[in-house]
Amino acid sequence: MDLITGFIAFFIALSVHEASHAFASDKLGDPTAKAMGRLTLNPLAHIDLFGTILLPIILLFSSGGAIAFGYAKPVMVNIYNFRRPSRDNFLTAIAGPVSNLLFALILSLIIRALPSVSFLIILLQVNVVLAVFNLLPIPPLDGSKVWHLILSDENYLTLERYGPFILIAMLLFSASTGNFLLNIVSTISNFLIQGL
């Protein structure tokens, strides 16, 4: 039941995240994601069979429940449709984590009115995890788009090419980074649940 509950929360948070990318992209002048049916909260539009379902299950069982990681189908963006490509690409990317934090804030208000609904706490925590993790400035995470504001296109594309390897290495070999992120997630979650 815990696994099913976690997946439901993950699907909901992921849908909010990806739909927000599509919404921001459309409002900034690029209709690509909207045309591909990604401007929706329907999880089926965002689920990647391997990244959203199989990978988290494999990691959960291989790590004894200690690690779970997954991803959705990427929202396609054509930056050449934007009025200011570097800025609008960053704003589109950052819309995902910001939406998760806003959703977590709304959930915190509901939790204070309905404190016995434990699923809402899980959903809040998953949203905070998605936001914090995706704000890391490492490609292909959303936070990496900040580099597009300060690097040349050539250097930015080079960073994007090697970013996934950097991210995987960090996840595999840096327990201290994991603990640091966990502390941030715990602090924000506890504040939202107890501190408002």
CB count, 10 Å around CB of 171?
Answer: 15
pLDDT score at 14: 95
Q: What is the pLDDT of residue 61?
A: 81
Q: Under a CB-based contact definition with an 8 Å cutoff, are residues 84 and 75 in contact?
A: no
CB 34 within 8 A of CB 26: yes
| pLDDT score, position 16 | 97
Residues acting as catalytic residues: 18
pLDDT score at 116: 76
The span from the CA of 98 to the CA of 145, in Å, is 14
Query: Which of 68, 64, 59, 62 shows the shortest CA–CA distance to 14?
Result: 68
83-106 burial, b at 16+ Cβ within 10 Å, e below that, comes to: eebbebbbbbbbbbbbbbbebbee
Q: Is the pTM higher than 0.85?
A: yes
> What one-character-per-residue DSSP string does 70-137 give?
--PPPPP--GGGSSSHHHHHHHHHHHHHHHHHHHHHHHHHHHHHSTT-HHHHHHHHHHHHHHHHHTSS
Residues of the chain with pLDDT under 50: none
Return the pLDDT at 65.
63
